[in-house]
Amino acid sequence: MSSAISIDPHYLVARLKALLAIASPTGFTDEAVRHTARELERLGLEVVLTRRGAIRARRPGAARRPARGIVSHLDTLGAQVKLLKPNGRLELVPIGHWSARFAEGARASIFSAKGTYRGSILPLKASGHTFNEEVDTQPSGWRHVELRVDALARSQHDLTQLGIDVGDIIAIDPAPEFLENGFIVSRHLDDKAGVAVMLAALEAMNREKVETPVDTYWLFTIGEEVGVGASAVVTPDIASLVAIDNGTTAPGQNSSEFGVTLVMADQTGPFDYHLCKKLFELCGANGIRVQKDVFRYYRSDAASAVEAGHDVRTALLAFGVDASHGYERIHLHALISVAKLVVHYLESQIEIERDAEETAVGLKGFTHQKVPEAEQDLTPEDGQEG
């Protein structure tokens, strides 16, 4: 095992900037797929694509099975045209689950049959000079915003002449800022930061000639924001699947914008006991800051893989994100920490050899969850007052 893993922060940031520059709301991910596939090929991996563009790339190890998979998603939040309005503006529906509060004021691109148009998402009552205090008291929600197209569009007919139609996909500008102190503020860090983490880990493994005991699969999905995720990209060789995604640094949560956030459960239930234990111990053994968290309103690529019927051990490594699905903020420290852990995990030895087969007869090699009774220096008298 390597004594130290060096993640190149300049490479990681460059990959993140390039990904953020490519619009990829769910349903419009082809160019992000092409960009990522070319980078994987440059790093020496053979790329296999599903029909719709999910990526599976294999890095050979000493044995084929039980292979390990790392997964993140290329698709982001966005919107679609719901209705061409009589006033020449567009009613919207969201792609993915995000609040219209964060849509207000956003700049956006509309992908129409005649080309791309630019526009702004505005509340229905956008002018204080006209509506006075109503700009503050109007309801919030997708029915209370509209997209103003930056073209001659005063009516439904004008919109039709522009080639804009119901169902057209809309990409929201990320508006990224990379600060000298390591903070990164942008939309769509979920999960383009996860993709950048995976590429940075792979670049480090190639640069430092890291060998792995089994094959590793680098998976990139295109429908996580709408629940499809890794349902169609996992192979039977993969026994363990680690998702890389955002952790929510909000009141009541234990996530952090620094170090690794090891997610113990999400709304679909607990992650794999043995895999999570291993990842936590690897953090301790390699000096990686780590904290655990549980998310009640969250699902990831790992959930969709299990729900699709793949019998894989799953875990979720998160980089702390403030204001997830809004104007998100992360810190480079977390991204580097997660990338380091990915490398240490992939180079670590296999403990559960039985995982090489999807099923096995009998209990030989099956795992235990024996937890000894905790030792305490507490006697009945210790609880008595004064």
- Cβ(283)–Cβ(341) under 8 Å? yes
Buried b (16+ CB within 10 A) or exposed e, 331-343: bbbbbbbbbbbbb
Structure tokens at 217: 């699969």
Per the DSSP assignment, residues forming a β-bridge with 263 are 293, 316
Q: How far apart are CA 31 and CA 34, in angstroms?
A: 5
Pinpoint the alpha helices (H) of the chain. Answer: 9-20, 30-42, 100-103, 128-131, 134-137, 156-162, 189-207, 273-285, 301-307, 332-347
Closest CA to 219 of 206, 209, 229, 205: 229
Closest CA to 70 of 54, 56, 60: 56
Tell me if residue 224 is catalytic. yes
Q: Which residues contact 109 (CB under 8 A, 6 or more apart)?
A: 23, 116, 117, 118, 119, 170, 171, 173
Active-site choice (146, 224, 225, 257): 224
- Cβ(326)–Cβ(102) under 8 Å? yes
Closest CA to 114 of 55, 162, 80: 162
Instruction: Say how far residue 211 (Cα) sits from the centre of its chain.
Output: 26
Instruction: Say how far residue 215 (Cα) sits from the centre of its chain.
Output: 23
- Which residue reads 């006209």 in tokens? 130
Q: Which residues contact 306 (CB under 8 A, 6 or more apart)?
A: 268, 312, 314
Q: How far apart are CA 42 and CA 199, in angstroms?
A: 11
Buried b (16+ CB within 10 A) or exposed e, 127-136: eeeeeeeeee
Residue 210 is classified by DSSP as -
Q: Tell me how long the chain is.
A: 386
Query: Residues with catalytic annotation?
Result: 224
